[in-house]
Structure 1
Amino acid sequence: MFVNRRDVQIQWGDCDPANIVYYPRYFAMFDDSTSIMFEAAGFSKQDLIHKYGLVGIPMVDTRAKFHIPSTHGDWIRIESRIESLKRSSFEVVHNVFKADALAIEAFETRVLVGKHPEDPAKLKSAPMPPEIIERFMRG
């Protein structure tokens, strides 16, 4: 499977008054990591919109297990991969490492959506394009 890795330095604004990363900030990092993973695989958001006619890849479920806290100035490595692909949805796993220790395990379910063919004001799930499946499965 395709894995994308990126290093992130924890910023002052990521932290709460106790100098620990405020947990919603991690979910923003994971959202960015999913977009960056698609980009690294050769599929920018503009490709998804223009080439495949999608509106986006909204998150429909998420959760995380927090093992080790991070504070201002720490460097973390986020490793993101698609765990499974279905007709229009997919599961993403984000493992966050602080040094070599697993700090966070995060999970997302996302759905490819486009405009509903009968009512463009509504959204409808869209099938995963074969070249996207092939790229993420091949690694």
Structure 2
Amino acid sequence: MSRRVRFADTDPAGIVYFPRYFVMTNDLVEEWFADGLDLPYRKIFEEGVRAVPLLRVEAKFSAPSRLGDMLDFSLAVSRLGTKSFGLNIAAHCAGETRLVTQQASAWARRDGGTIRAEAIPPEIRARMEEYLENP
């Protein structure tokens, strides 16, 4: 996914305000679910009261991104467990690394007021395996 840094993404110094990177990476994950896994979020939530909560995220900001920069994002599955998975996401601009994140999410079901992890369905797991960083 490529995305231009917009005015709304920047702080008064004209560089990306760090929380906006998390919006961008969330957009990438949502697009990956829709296009890569053939499972749009809308379908996840409409069928079976599912959830994909973010459990942990770590980010390294390597260089500032500025208004108008074109960021190229990449995504790879770093870990695929029974009920959870890890993603490595990177953003580059003109070959320079700007952001690298490692994050973990769970496959879960909402049950009343609680969310409980459950096994990733085999068909979704098989699609995720296609994106494994080191199969």
| Partner Cα separation in structure 1 for residue 122 and residue 46 of structure 2 | 16
Alpha-carbon deviations, 1:8-48, whole Å to 9, x = none? 00001111111110000001111111111111121111232
Shift of 1:54: 4.2
Where 2:26 maps in the other structure, the secondary structure is helix
Contact 1:19–1:71 at 8 Å: present in 2 too? yes
Higher relative contact order (CA 8 A, sep 6+): 1
Gapped regions of structure 1 (runs ≥ 5): 1-5
Instruction: Tell me whether 1:109 sits opposite 2:101 in the alignment.
Output: no
Contact 2:85–2:106 at 8 Å: present in 1 too? yes
Moved over 6 A (4+): none
Shift of 1:64: 0.7
Match of 1:99 in 2: 94
Shift of 1:55: 2.7
| Partner Cα separation in structure 2 for residue 54 and residue 11 of structure 1 | 34
Match of 1:27 in 2: 22
Give the length in aligned residue pairs: 130
Instruction: Tell me whether 1:57 sits opposite 2:49 in the alignment.
Output: no
For normalisation by structure 1, the TM-score amounts to 0.87
Gapped regions of structure 2 (runs ≥ 5): none
Shift of 1:78: 0.7
Q: What is the letter of the counterpart of residue 21 of structure 1?
A: V
